[in-house]
Structure 1
Amino acid sequence: MNSSVPPAGGPISLGSPTDSVGPRIALYTEEFAADPHRVYREMRRRFGALVPIELAPGVPATLVIGYQIARRILNDPEHFPADPRYWQKRIPSDCPVLPLMEWRPNAFRSTGTDHARYRNPTVAALREVEMFSLHRMVERIAFPLINAFCETGTAEIISQYAYPLTFEVVNTLLGCPPDIGRRAAEALAALFDGVDTDQAHGALDAALADLAELRQKKPGNDITSRLLRHSACLDRTEMIAQLMSFYGAGIEPLQNLIVNTVRMLLTEDRFAGGLLGGSVTTHAALDEVLFTDPPLANLCTTFPRQPILIDGVWLPAHQPVVISMAACNNDPSVTADEYVDNSAHLAWSIGPHACPARSVAYLVAQDAVDQLLDALPDMRLAVPVEELTWRPGPFHRALTALPVVFPPAPALSHG
């Protein structure tokens, strides 16, 4: 990859790529949500690896759809820092993507020593999650959810299973009471959808502040309590920011990973038959989804401090550079030998901002899918797959609903 800064006093094209190629591609439309892979193919044909996009009306950015360029950017925080503070000065306060992109004192939006200050407590708190206990937790939560619909022969997997399961898992890990967790989850969903973002932003902050205050007074064996007692001595604002990272990464993306995996298993014969026959593992199915259609399709946003040349294109200073994990994973210029296997995908990111909760998320998603399919092995879609619809938004890959039918089954019981 060719990257450099411009010579002093020299002319600079600030396109990303240059705007002379025509209007930017909007990532927030229903048309994009309905078939993003078709749009990615068109992007690649017209622009190559770097695409001029809009994240919201009037919010320009560059989308990286080349696998190797994405790897270089994600491993180069010096030239591509995650700190958006200069950028957000020019963004209207009512911009629908601002709450998900603005600076917060957490690892996701920091660089250098600040990044280490915020990432270390997060890694330490996650390290104490005991995996066998987590497995039993998922099982304990999944059983009553499945029992609520298994005898009826029909269910909507998002509202009746994936959302309440991830909601309760994350709340339990964080030591969060259901009422506070519900407020946080509803606000976060509104932020992902770009709906009433000012109100949702305030509601999320208030819920997380209440959680931090509760665990300050009554500490326990949970992630929030571990963050509070870490030697980094996080203050109130920093605590809210860390908790927001856990909710942001723990409910919406995890819920969508479970749902997208169930959808794939119900619609692709090569997986359904192999899974039930034992020749394909759920872990492999999860990796297939993470590789081909990850729940966070476009994210890992960085903000170059100065104009930078990437493969012959000048990227502007302080304008978002967004990695399309979905498009990069499916980059046809990268051969199968270079990937080695599906675990080479970028869905967890790489470099200093790689997801520290990867093993936790894998276990929860795998157990959630296993419990559902073990209980209802003959489950199938209740509608043709082409009738499923996707929620619009530049960042996530999320169905609006996943209705299923199955032969009624007896309620599960703990052995």
Structure 2
Amino acid sequence: MDGPVPAARRAVARLYGPEFAADPEAVYERLRRYGTLAPVEISPDVPALLVTDYRAALDLLHDEGTWSKDPRGWQETLPAGSPVLPMLGWRPNVMFNDGDVHARYRRVITDGFERIAPHELRATVVSIADALIADFGADHEADLMGQFARVLPLRLFNRLFGLPDSHSDRLISAIAGMLEGDPAQASAANAEFEGYVAELISSKRRARGRDLTSWFMDHPAELSEEEITHQIVLTMAAGHEPTANLIGNALARMLTDDRYYGTLSGGALTPRDAIQDVLLNDPPVANYAAHFPKRDVDFHGTRIAAGTLVMVSLAAAGAQHGRTEAPGAGAASGSGGGAHLAWSAGAHTCPVPRSALLIATTAIERLTAWLSDIELAVPRGELAHRLGPFYRALTRLPVRFTPIRPDQAGATPWDSSAAPHPAPPA
């Protein structure tokens, strides 16, 4: 090859649309046959190179000298209003910066979450999960994505960042509009989300509390107002989507795999096994980890021009050697003998994976404790996933179950959620 090649070579596959959403593994297999990296489209006329090889993914993710997370040069090549810019456009936050700047932002987030004791975080998740279950427990049926998995992380973040529960519906509505609405709705929802964050910061300017917003403000890193805003937005967004999809995908595993039955609360495998199964085989963030070579580079046999968008497929690389059995079935803990890539790797690995695992595990344990005979309300093949390249996310998870009532004998989620909500943990 005479010179560096741009990502604009003819795409082997499109990482959007119904075909990809219905069977991404078939698309990944086609990309693997092409080579370690393959040219793809992540949106119409937006090319990228996708890493589908496990070893190559680790080599890229651990090489800060060659690869940058700063997209500003690349995004100048996109038209204004490109649909991928909300996910890939530069911001002054932990995700889109390198070196000392990245490390400074990351310390703010990790130090903040380290002040939340695990038992306090679990108690808060229990309170929120029980309240949500009480909302639909008497109805015989529910959509576990729209009524549980997507809502729980946002109610949790509303508390952890220091606003009372009365504000959580505003946050939930804004995020839902940004994810699901048409462009006009998404624009209005984005404005609502910005207003929510501005009000949150303003309230903590007036009076600090025992919450993440106050700790971000008072951190020795001395973030500016703009930097505080972007760390809050990033933490909520990056915490919500993966956690919601981890909960949803794990519940779908439990509802479609006989190893989790007799009942959801008494099968051979546990919610922890389902979560590990998802992290190994169907990670909630499927294709992301966007990087840009700082100079023309030869990488695993491909010559790549500086500034080219190169994304790591955490799903394709993590499951390179086929489906890995859940650890509860006695199998190894990673694809091909390696660890999963669901949290990414290297300097930009997820800063708080233990918190994410605790939230997802606790949420599923509460749901299966109160509603132990949940079953799918539609055939497995009718479960649909959201379109787009970045997330592996169910659109709905309709289920049915034996209703529970507030006045029935024994403990119920109404009893648990009737207690005063605990203050944001310190």
Do the two structures share a fold, i.e. TM-score over 0.5?
A: yes
CA contact 1:382–1:405 (8 Å) conserved in 2: yes
Shift of 1:200: 5.0
CA distance in 2, matches of 1:56, 1:273: 43
Q: Deviations over 1:95-136 (max 9, x none)?
A: 001011111111111101111111111111011011111111
Shift of 1:36: 0.7
1:133 alignment partner, SS class: helix
Read off the aligned partner of 2:143 and give its amino acid letter: E
CA distance in 2, matches of 1:84, 1:206: 26
Aligned pairs for 1:7-406 within 5 A: 11-16=2-7, 19=9, 22-45=10-33, 47-177=34-164, 181-189=168-176, 191-192=178-179, 195-196=182-183, 200-273=189-262, 276-277=265-266, 279-332=268-321, 340-342=332-334, 344-406=339-401
What percentage of residue pairs aligned between the two structures are identical?
A: 37
CA contact 1:97–1:194 (8 Å) conserved in 2: no
Shift of 1:246: 0.9
1:106 alignment partner, SS class: coil
Read off the aligned partner of 1:379 and give its amino acid letter: I
1:409 corresponds, among 398, 404, 424, to 404
CA distance in 2, matches of 1:200, 1:86: 28
Shift of 1:33: 1.0
Read off the aligned partner of 2:29 and give its amino acid letter: R
CA contact 1:100–1:191 (8 Å) conserved in 2: no
Q: Deviations over 1:279-330 (max 9, x none)?
A: 5332221011111111111111111122211121112221211111111111
In structure 2, stretches of 5+ residues that fail to align are 326-330, 407-411, 420-426
Read off the aligned partner of 1:37 and give its amino acid letter: E
- Rate the CA distance shift 1:378–1:198 in 2: closer, same or farther, 3 A: closer
- Rate the CA distance shift 1:190–1:74 in 2: closer, same or farther, 3 A: farther
Q: Deviations over 1:311-360 (max 9, x none)?
A: 21112221211111111111029999xx9514811111111111112111
Read off the aligned partner of 1:42 and give its amino acid letter: R
CA distance in 1, matches of 2:282, 2:27: 14
Read off the aligned partner of 1:166 and give its amino acid letter: P
CA distance in 2, matches of 1:385, 1:340: 27
CA contact 1:184–1:208 (8 Å) conserved in 2: no
Partner of 1:4: none
- Rate the CA distance shift 1:220–1:287 in 2: closer, same or farther, 3 A: same
1:306 alignment partner, SS class: coil
Partner of 1:6: none
Shift of 1:202: 4.4
Q: Deviations over 1:134-180 (max 9, x none)?
A: 11111111112212222221111112222221211111111135576
CA distance in 1, matches of 2:324, 2:395: 33
Read off the aligned partner of 1:405 and give its amino acid letter: R
Read off the aligned partner of 2:396 and give its amino acid letter: A
Partner of 1:7: none
- Rate the CA distance shift 1:60–1:93 in 2: closer, same or farther, 3 A: same
- Rate the CA distance shift 1:358–1:371 in 2: closer, same or farther, 3 A: same
CA distance in 2, matches of 1:346, 1:118: 22
CA distance in 2, matches of 1:83, 1:142: 37
Shift of 1:203: 4.2
1:309 alignment partner, SS class: strand
Read off the aligned partner of 2:18 and give its amino acid letter: E
In structure 1, stretches of 5+ residues that fail to align are 1-9
CA distance in 2, matches of 1:194, 1:102: 20
Shift of 1:215: 1.4
